[in-house]
Amino acid sequence: MFTMIVGEVANFVAYVFAPAVLVTPLGALSIIVSAVLAHFLLDEKLQKMGVLGCVLCIVGSTVIVLHAPEESTPSSVEEIWDLAIQPAFLLYTASAIAVVLVLMLHCAPRCGQTNIMVYIGICSIIGSLTVMSIKAIGIAIKLTIEGTNQAGYFQTWIFAMVAITCIITQLNYLNMALDTFSAAIVSPIYYAMFTTLTIFASAIMFKDWSGQSASKMVSEICGFITVLSGTTVLHSTREPDPPPVTDLYSPLSPKILWHIQGNGELWKQKDEDGSSLDFVTIFKQDYFS
């Protein structure tokens, strides 16, 4: 739990100093670390295809880092607010909320238990808005530490409320997806949708790709596809969880007690119904089978 909290804090700080186009795809590196640690600490066998998946993630991450765009840090929360209320991002936000409401109110009650895209779609769409809010809060905290207090702006608290609401919703539906479907299927699909939508939202709000050449943009896309392929390969090689072991010697229900009287009378009694007695008479023999 402690290491998870430290990792999330570090991830939060990363969004302050780097664009989401760079930070979000690099989340696949945690999958590699988990697979390697599980191989040595939990005796989970890392197969050859799993090693190939790790290599693909590393190669794709390297390509993304080498061609990542440079980001200019806003000087105040008001400047971030101006980016958030630009028509293009307002259109994305309105579309995202509309799709999420349709998935929550119409699709989830009807096919949420059978269609994996319902819960993951809600998590991914809400997650893209979460990252934008978290990035705004992180920049506000950074500016406050540097001496420019941002707590007095109402925009800071709006971003905070949006972030809390989105995080709670995202975790709720992610847990529902993991409870309903296999984690080996949920993880790569969620990673792909969440990362894609986050990059798209960040490109609209913060204009991450503004001023970049077409070759760098294509290289970043290729790097992301490589990471996505590696993640899918790595998860596809995971061994399924063993079924729960049941006690082979546990008594059946209802319990039946057999008694042999000295006169050769055999009778049984159901343990759950004391009034029901069945008598069977047998001949006394030296042995019987």
Any idea where the domains of the chain sit in the sequence? Answer: 1-68+76-237
This prediction's pTM: 0.73
Confirm if 158 and 133 have CB atoms less than 8 A apart. no
Give the residue ranges of the chain where pLDDT is below 70: 238-289
What confidence tens digit (pLDDT) does each residue in 170-228 have?
Answer: 999 989 998 998 877 888 888 888 888 988 898 889 887 777 788 888 888 898 898 88
The pLDDT value recorded for residue 283 is 47
The pLDDT assigned to 240 comes to 58
Position 250 scores a pLDDT of 47
Structure tokens at 179: 């409870």
Cα distance between residue 223 and residue 235, in whole Å: 18
Dump strand ranges (E) for the chain. 256-260, 265-270, 277-281
> Kind and range of the H or E element at 257?
strand 256-260
What's the CA gap between 228 and 26, in Å, rounded? Answer: 11
Q: What pLDDT is attached to residue 234?
A: 80
Q: What is the pLDDT of residue 120?
A: 92
Q: Where are the alpha helices (DSSP H) in 181-257?
A: 183-205, 214-236
Q: What is the dihedral of CA 214, 80, 130, 196, to 10 degrees?
A: -10
Which three-class secondary structure state does DSSP give residue 24? coil
Return the pLDDT at 23: 87
